[in-house]
Every structure is written in structure tokens, then in C-alpha cells.
Amino acid sequence: MRLLIVAQNASTKFGGESLLPVNYFRILRSRQIETWLVAHARTQAELTGLFPEDRDRMHFVPDTWLHRLLHNCGRFIPARVNEFTFGLLSHLYTQVLQRRIVRRLVSEHQIDIVHEPTPVSATVPSLMFGLGVPVVIGPMNTSVKFPLAFRARQNPTIDLLIAIGHQCVDFFNRLFPGKIKAETLLVANDRTKQALASGVQGKIIELVENGVDFSVWRADSSLSRAATGQVHFIFLGRLIDWKAVDLLLKAFAPVADQTDAVLEIIGDGHIRGELEAQTARLGIDSSVVFSGWLSQQECALKMQQAHAMVFPSLREPGGAVVLEAMAVGLPVIATNWGGPADYLNSTCGILVEPASKEGFVKGLTDAMLKLALSAELRQSMGSAGRERVRQHFDWERKVDRILEIYQQTIDHCSKH
């Protein structure tokens, strides 16, 4: 089997979905499977450093003046609006350039199948069609709305613009019909299946979007977590509104009053200054640490030293960080909404209902106190989470399944 993976961004540093194509490429090449990768040149230095023996298998779209112009324009509008305006234009332009490279590589290397794992949005159109070989797209995982009690955090104008954009999904997917014509579409859940453009022709298969690389995210027995003493909670993610770190800080204040627990916030974003100011106002600045952006390896080490993860995001479609915390052996407190609700159950974490702002904050407080006061519960939940991830979310098993899907797609196309 000869495979080609195409993605706009492939990186271990960008976070989010950009890590997905890196993991596919990494694992497939570690198994000596003939695989090529096409991505944007903004990550060329990183990828050639990660895979020096596969330099000739990676091809990059140059960072043009138009890319830079669209990026700069997008900086002046809300991120969610940028996704389907300047961001979408940049993606489509990149795909125009990638399509030329892909068609050439398909011919030169007798590629059997093309896989486009990102973007994970079910609605973003694709230009990966008419390549002369079957195409697999996904797993996709559509975005989720804020819970009803938190809709006030949304900007009505932005919501209106997004709603208008969604009305144009079918039109743009017919104009750029990669997803309609793809032989196989992978979706993470039923809500993503329902979000696909009408008229898709390929087979739709459910497959989890995220996975865990156990070579990075693993429990380290040499870094034992003390059963008594100061309990270390950790949050990891971008510091943006919908991650709800402001509510986490409010919920942590009673925990800091009643215990000597600490909360470490890893990540960066445009509201970091506001959050640091809130921490001072609440009088918990001696118990809260802002560590900023850290590398994947540094994040893994921080998790190995922590006692529990708190992830209060209000509109998280996936949430790979929840799986990574489980893999390290941490119990997880998260919102009973979106991706985390798909990953966690009562054996390995505490899901807090987002029924009201006051109830949600109190639920976070109660969950943190419950874990802070019971080392035995932290241990049992951490062990259960680690086992759950191994059974259902291991990247190696995920690649086993994706290889089966590749072969099924190739076999089906050869019969027609």
C-alpha cells in the first residue's frame, strides 16, 4: 500500500488538529509503510527535524504573499468569523497549490490512496477530488454550540454570521466537491454525520478523531504522586473565552480557602492578562500558577507531577487533552458537554453539568474538593482512565483501524 497524507498544517507545536497528520505519518512510517505527506511550508523546519530520514517524502506548499495577507486580515476579526472568511480563503488557496503537488505525486509514486485528515470540520469544502485514486477524508468532528445556560457568552452578531455561513455549506461543497465525491468519509460521532453537506456519495464510517501517543503521554513511576500533602490541579489549553478558565478560577477560590491545593494553568491566549487580574482580585494568586505555553514533552512532565486535570471548556468538540491526562493516570473533571462527555465516564472522572452558571461553578468546586480530599479516589479514577484510553483511544490501534479502512476503500474502488 502506498499512501499520501495531505493537510494544511502538520505540527506538534500548533496544537489541536495539526497534530493529527503528524501522528498518522509518524506511525505509518515507523511500520515501514510507503507514505508521503503534503503540508504548508510554515512547519517545514519542524517536520524535517522530526523526520530527517523522510525528508524526501515530505512536500510543502510555499508561504506566499497571499497567505500572509489573508493571515494578517484575519487577525482583526473574531476567530470564529475568521474560520469561514479569510481563514477559509487561505485554506482553499493552499489546497489549490496542494492539489497540483498531490496529482504529481500520485503519478510519480503510484499512490494507492489519498487521506485528508484535516481540517476536522465537517462543513469546510475540499479540493481533493479527481486525483485518479480514492480519497479518504476525516475523521471529522463538527463544532458544538455553547450549552443553553451559557449562550450569553456568545456574540449575537458572530452567531448570525456563522448561521449565514452554514446556509452556504451545500453551495461551497458543490463548488469544491471533495467531500461529496470522496470514497470514504470518517466521522467522530452522529452530530458530525448530520452536519455533512447533502449528497455525499462515499461510505460514512464512524471513527474517533483523537488518539493518544503512549510514547509521550504515560504514567512515570519515578515521579510518584504523594497520597497526602498539597494537591496539584492542572488545566491545559488555550486561554480563550470558551475554555471557561474564568469560571474555573471562581470555582477554585473556595478550594484554595479550604485546602492547600494549587492550580497550574498551562497555555497562553489573548485573555491571559484578564485571568491573572481575576486571580489577584479573588485573592488566590498565591495558589494559582500561570505557566504559559509549554512543549508537548514539558506538558507531559507537568501532568506526571500533577494529581488531577480540570477542563471546564464549554464548547469542546474533541478535547485530546482529556485523553492525554487519562493516559498519564490523572482523574479528570470536565464539562458534561461535547467531546469530553464522549471520553469520560464515572469510573475515571467527574462530569459537571452546565445547567446554570452558578450550578456549574459549584459543581467544579465540589468535584475539586472531592478529589482533593481523597487520595484513594484519585488513584482509582486515574487507573481506570489509563485503562480506558488503552482500550479505546491508543493511536496504534487507531492506525490499525485506518489501515483496514484504506484497504476496504481501495478494494471497493477496484471493483467499480
Residue 224 has pLDDT above 60, yes or no: no
Task: Judge if 352 and 381 occupy the same domain.
Answer: yes
Tell me what pLDDT residue 167 has. 64
Tell me what pLDDT residue 155 has. 66
Residue range 330-387, pLDDT digits in tens: 999 999 998 898 899 999 999 999 999 999 999 999 999 999 999 999 999 999 999 9
Tell me, yes or no, whether 300 lies in a domain.
yes
Other beta carbons less than 10 A from residue 398's beta carbon: 21
Buried b (16+ CB within 10 A) or exposed e, 298-318: ebbebbbebbbbbbbbbbbbb
Residue range 146-163, pLDDT digits in tens: 888 887 777 666 666 666
Task: Judge if 27 and 83 occupy the same domain.
Answer: yes
Per DSSP, the three-state class of 218 is coil
Question: Range of 157's domain?
Answer: 2-211+394-415
Tell me what pLDDT residue 228 has. 54
Closest CA to 331 of 256, 231, 229: 231
Report residue 164's pLDDT band, with 50, 70 and 90 as the boundaries: low
Report residue 410's pLDDT band, with 50, 70 and 90 as the boundaries: very high
- Are residues 318 and 187 in contact, defined by beta-carbon separation less than 8 angstroms? no
Task: Judge if 282 and 135 occupy the same domain.
Answer: no
Task: Judge if 165 and 305 occupy the same domain.
Answer: no
From residue 123, alpha-carbon distances to 99, 115, 172, 176, 273 in Å are 19, 17, 9, 11, 34
Task: Judge if 22 and 134 occupy the same domain.
Answer: yes
Mean local confidence (pLDDT), 299-322: 91
- Are residues 95 and 128 in contact, defined by beta-carbon separation less than 8 angstroms? yes
DSSP class of residue 353?
P
Percentage of residues of the chain with pLDDT beyond 70: 94
CATH number for the domain that contains residue 55: 3.40.50.2000
Task: Judge if 151 and 194 occupy the same domain.
Answer: yes
Task: Judge if 193 and 181 occupy the same domain.
Answer: yes
Tell me what pLDDT residue 151 has. 77
CA angle 265, 267, 273 (to 5 degrees): 80
pTM higher than 0.75, yes or no?
yes
Domain count, the chain: 2
Q: How many helices (H) and strands (E) does the chain have?
A: 17, 13
- Distance, in Å, from the CA atom of 138 to the CA atom of 136, rounded to the nearest integer, reads 7
Task: Judge if 269 and 127 occupy the same domain.
Answer: no
- Distance, in Å, from the CA atom of 135 to the CA atom of 406, rounded to the nearest integer, reads 9
Mean local confidence (pLDDT), 165-176: 76
Task: Judge if 340 and 358 occupy the same domain.
Answer: yes
Other beta carbons less than 10 A from residue 78's beta carbon: 15
Task: Judge if 254 and 385 occupy the same domain.
Answer: yes
Tell me, yes or no, whether 117 lies in a domain.
yes
Residue range 245-279, pLDDT digits in tens: 999 999 999 999 999 999 999 999 989 999 999 99
Tell me, yes or no, whether 143 lies in a domain.
yes
Task: Judge if 383 and 411 occupy the same domain.
Answer: no
Task: Judge if 245 and 122 occupy the same domain.
Answer: no
From residue 111, alpha-carbon distances to 36, 106, 138, 146 in Å are 9, 5, 19, 42
Tell me what pLDDT residue 16 has. 77
Cell of 250: 471562581
